[in-house]
Structure 1
């Protein structure tokens, strides 16, 4: 299933993509795409529904029908740093001996086609296409062998980052990761059963039509089962939490000379089978 949340910001309704690519309304079955809906029992209930009998939503998704973040009520937005060896190299940082964990604040989360707002006083706003892992079954101290059973599905994430805030301003990475609009999420949550091999998904990102990032989840250093298990050692994972798994090379910081977003650009990114995001970048406010 491809699960979506559609409508105006803050008032999104749950939906599912039908065989023709249109949205069918799920609000008669579930309150939202989040929480217990993402547990195995909740997803099984949605699979039993006759999609073609559900109300058809007016509009074409991502054209004249806005899609919001594909997960509602996200509790934790957990991110993994330097999880591609070639990205660590372009950042002039060593490959970490175990996963690097940081956070994006949930106030950063926006829809897949909502604008990205450059923050005030930004010097180095950057882009990062990433695979998002959405937790379904909650757990703590999860065995790696059982980890995929805790995954509801996957989505596209743009881990927008302000490098000067992140690296030059005395503190943890979180300072440059959680600005408002820095977490475009979606367009849809693709349930785990729809993805044959999560370790073989092409991913890419363009800025104004120029290909900047091109990679594959095949080169992840720490794979999805390990990340789920590892994160659960330090916190309980809850239904609807997201783990963003890292980015391949090609970020602005790694260009020669470095290239950052200033406003006016269009950033387009996608992952095989998980959809495409297109965001207009707004200049920093005075």
Structure 2
């Protein structure tokens, strides 16, 4: 039996004592009183109070029929409830102590509204909060993934733009009529190895293409030198190493100054390059 049904039956105890319930309404209340000690005691106290009130009330006497009906009802319920308290005489049943017959707080046995089960709709705000929290977490994860994808796309785009700019610079250097082209040949042997240096002064870029170059020792590299037309010392213009078949391509666009060139030369230097030539010139072109 739920707390709500228990409280509803307790509300009908007084009506039952007054005889205001019909047979169908009184039956479940009587059955409950027989099985519930709290309601049994409550009903007994209601009957005792009504009996005292009926005997001590002043004023016009109650109708004999109503009085007989009340006493008859009390007499009918005197035997089933005798184990709790023997009628209105206050005598104690065998085997029961005085503390057993003392009234108890009904509220201590019956749960209050605060302790009763909460209705399902009271959990709606908490459920809504959980749903919103889960939705916020999903949005955060999705935004993080989108941000990572955007960052990767931007990085790839930047790299592509850099390669495109480099390719356009090489194409312009190779095809521009203003490009100074100098072919360098092997200085002390047959001109089989070949190096072509293309210098676009206004864009500060040098593009070098080489074929049939001899391999250089480990840790060494070829270094290109720009020979200024004004007689200034040679300017470093980049290092390169040939492939297995002797080919090499180099683009150098980091020159601090771009003087007019009278020619180019190549020496073998350390892999990291040198500020000035430290070995004999092996390729030259004017």
**Structure 2-normalised TM-score?**
0.23
* TM-score (normalised: structure 1): 0.23
Which structure's residues are more often helix, by fraction? 2
Larger radius of gyration between Structure 1 and Structure 2: 2
